Amino acid sequence: MARKANFFQHYHYKQTLEYYQEQDNPKSKNYIKVLIMLLTTIICTVFFSMHIDINTDQSLEYRTVPGYMWTNQKVVAEFTFPVFKNYNDYLIEVNKARDKALPVFFVDKSAEFTCNNHLEAIYKNMILFCSDSLKSPNGILVEPIFNELITLRASNCSAEIQKIYSGIKELMKIVYQNGFINENISSFSQNEISIQTEPNFERIIKKELLTDINNISLVAKRYLSNKLNEKSLTVAIEIVKVLNHPKYIFSKDMTERNKEVSAEAVSRYEGIVREGETIIAKGETVTESTLKKLTSYRKSKLLKKDVIYTFWTFIGGFGHSAIIYSVLILYLFFIRKRIFSDNLQVGIISLILILSAFFAWLTITIPTKLPVEYLIIIPSLSMLAAIVFDSRTAFYTTVAMALMASGIRGNDYSTGLILLFTGTIAAYTVRDIQNRTQMFQSILFILISFIIGIASINLERAADLMPMLNQLAMASINSFVSPLITFGLLILIEKYTRITTDFRLQEFDKLNHPLLVKLNEIAPGTYQHVLSMASLAERCASAINANPLLAKVGAYFHDIGKLVMPELFIENQLDNQNKHDSMLPKSSAEAIKQHVIEGVKLGHEYNLPQRIIDFIPTHHGTTLIKHFYATALEQAEDKSTVNEQDYRYPGPKPFSKETAIVMICDFSEALSRLEISSKDELDKIISSNIKERMLDGQFDDSNITFSELQTIKDVCVKSLLGSSHQRIKYKEIPAEKK
């Protein structure tokens, strides 16, 4: 804060450039930038290095897909090794084996004896009941049985009780012979159960023979219905219900152990490759079988080592990720210096790259047969980069993300190509976005891009239809969620950073902003100049595919510094008294330069976004204030005493196409107010000024081309002539005819 206060107190123009490139500001400190780059590279290296798992199919040295031609050298087995099954297929077999493993029961040897004793006791109590010796239920002849026995008093009670006893005894003998268990039979999907009779011995019983404590009443009813009358059958069923003494008791621990044994019995291999056998030769087409052999060869190599991850593995991954990351960093350093100088923006771009790397790593870590690689959110991250930065930066970011994803997935060229194509299309669909809802229009373009990419790759290798449909299904999900992800990330960036997107710029595309209202009241001439310039800058930006909104809003606020001393500028001198006539040329130049300092100050006081404030010091660049410099030379006895730098704006120069456009429109609109007789004259004078600034190096940092400068000049000439055309003087009607 001390630095900013000093800047606003002294108002020295040369501090403008220092203020924008402040080295004490954490946003531009080089050591922070280096730390961001180093952390990004290390994190991506982890994703490169930590994807080898000998228990899965994710060893990616020989990453390829069936149908592709093998372009590497011939691979010959250096040793004999087994061919691993596809990991997902192996897991399916393991799960099936676990499901088929029989539930295990142990034997309660006393169960049948206990049941017979219990039945005998019930029988004796029923005899007592028939002789009227038992008047009420007790612990053996429980109430449900007692209540049903009452119906037998009128008949031959003892005879019926004997039938009931005999029938139940026969029934229980059969039940114990077939198997009486303590669990619900329907809870087991298997058709058999295992009875652990002795250690390491078992007996298998079919499920249809079994009786459990829940269905024993039904079994009793079926068995005794032909042996007993209706009343006696009811009594018998109530008795059977209390004879809950299962012989076979379910063991959860032994069942789990049985499942593990069954799972371990599933073979991990499906073949063998002998030493010296050619696995694949250069030029051969990769098949499913060949791919399994290649993957198994790599895994077998790893299994022969004591460690999978070594120092050199990490160094290789570090170099791989650094090469890809450097593509993006070099672009920022040479082409987008403004982004490169801001650590926050470098951090956001680096975080975008890390996110894409993380999702690519997830796709090879999650054990699934689904083509989850098409869920990598590169399209949404590309849109985010285009909205927050620009479409060109988004393209380079997309290239880096696609290369990173392809590398992490083990040189997965086809996935990288499809994601690169789709991400690029996604970025350009939001290039001229005007509101947040337009992001959702990208869904169709992303989906079409995925369809084109996936169809092309699969048709080339004559792939089956079903895998392609699965890929399209994953791509469809990605297409629909991409705008939502972009929208959410954009909200976070706008909330927690000072980065200004076009959505935020739209809030300043209004003439009722307090600064513009003040400008209209205090400096009406400047205000009219600003309005004309804004419209002109917008048209010029549209003509060369720059950002018309940014150019327009930047033009609105570029001259707000003239609010402080508006009378020093010719457009506001309504009384035709030029204040500079009584001032020394150097003082006049300093006073003119002051409007840039005051403009930056006002911009910060009114919380204008930095993207708008940038137009204030750049619309003059480092140009020479020629009028006062020439005057100083005329008045000086010794011309060598006149320092040209005292009459130059120290900049910075325009560093984007939009700031360059505002510079050109500023002097073009001013020149149009001169007495110009023809289009050719206006064309000539604007061309001369553009050439002068070009030779002066004013456009060196703006990335603008000669062709674009010509287009801007043509738009300025056409627009300014149209707005300043002369009207004819109409004749008046003679007085006598009125």
> pLDDT, tens digit, for every residue of 557-571?
999 988 888 877 777
Average pLDDT on 206-227 reads: 91
Q: What pLDDT is attached to residue 14?
A: 45
Cβ atoms of residues 179 and 250 within 8 Å: no
Task: Please give the CATH number for the structural domain made up of 506-723.
Answer: 1.10.3210
pLDDT at 184 over 60: yes
Q: What pLDDT is attached to residue 11?
A: 38
Of 329-343, 489-503, 520-534, 679-693, the range with the lowest mean pLDDT is 489-503
Percentage of the chain lying above the pLDDT 70 cut: 88
pLDDT at 115 over 90: yes
Q: Say which residue, 18 or 455, is predicted with more confidence.
A: 455
Q: How confident is the model at residue 26 (pLDDT cuts 50, 70, 90)?
A: low
Q: Angle CA(449)–CA(451)–CA(452) in degrees, nearest 5?
A: 65
Which tokens hold the place of 629?
A: 């410099």
Q: What pLDDT is attached to residue 574?
A: 66
Q: Say which residue, 673 or 484, is predicted with more confidence.
A: 484
Q: How confident is the model at residue 296 (pLDDT cuts 50, 70, 90)?
A: confident
Q: What pLDDT is attached to residue 2?
A: 37
Average pLDDT on 209-228 reads: 90
* Dihedral sign (CA 67, 68, 69, 71): negative
Q: How confident is the model at residue 91 (pLDDT cuts 50, 70, 90)?
A: confident
Q: How confident is the model at residue 309 (pLDDT cuts 50, 70, 90)?
A: low
Q: Which of 668, 660, 648, 685 has its CA nearest to residue 724?
A: 668
pLDDT at 55 over 60: no
Q: What pLDDT is attached to residue 1?
A: 35
pLDDT at 59 over 60: no
Q: What pLDDT is attached to residue 25?
A: 57
Of 153-157, 230-234, 415-419, 499-503, the range with the lowest mean pLDDT is 153-157
Q: How confident is the model at residue 56 (pLDDT cuts 50, 70, 90)?
A: low
Q: Across 427-522, where does the E strand assignment appear?
A: none
Q: What pLDDT is attached to residue 4?
A: 41
Q: Say which residue, 197 or 205, is predicted with more confidence.
A: 205
Q: Which of 489, 618, 597, 490 has its CA nearest to residue 550?
A: 618
Q: What is the pTM of this model?
A: 0.64
pLDDT at 728 over 70: no
Q: How confident is the model at residue 306 (pLDDT cuts 50, 70, 90)?
A: low
Torsion of CA 662, 663, 668, 673, to 10 degrees: 90
Q: How confident is the model at residue 736 (pLDDT cuts 50, 70, 90)?
A: low
pLDDT at 590 over 80: yes
Of 75-79, 195-199, 516-520, the range with the lowest mean pLDDT is 195-199
Which tokens hold the place of 213?
A: 């404590």
Average pLDDT on 699-707 reads: 91
What pLDDT digit, counting tens, does each position of 639-666 carry? 778 888 888 887 789 988 999 999 999 9
The domains of the chain are located at 2-52+309-499, 100-262, 506-723
Q: Say which residue, 519 or 497, is predicted with more confidence.
A: 519
Q: Angle CA(523)–CA(525)–CA(529) in degrees, nearest 5?
A: 115
Q: What pLDDT is attached to residue 735?
A: 62
Alpha carbon separation from 592 to 13, 354, 570, 584 (Å, rounded)? 10, 47, 11, 12
> Cβ neighbours of residue 650 under 8 Å, at least 6 residues apart?
13, 14, 16, 17, 622
Give CA–CA dist 381/427, Å, rounded.
Answer: 9
Give CA–CA dist 112/246, Å, rounded.
Answer: 8
Average pLDDT on 413-437 reads: 86
Q: Say which residue, 725 or 393, is predicted with more confidence.
A: 393
Percentage of the chain lying above the pLDDT 90 cut: 46
- Tokens 């690519």 sit at which residue? 360
pLDDT at 96 over 90: yes
Exposed / middle / buried, residue 105 (Cβ in 10 Å: 0-12, 13-18, 19+): buried
* Dihedral sign (CA 630, 636, 637, 639): negative
pLDDT at 432 over 90: no
Q: Say which residue, 419 or 187, is predicted with more confidence.
A: 419
pLDDT at 417 over 90: yes
Q: Per DSSP, what are the bridge partners of residue 81?
A: 273
Give CA–CA dist 52/63, Å, rounded.
Answer: 12
pLDDT at 254 over 60: yes
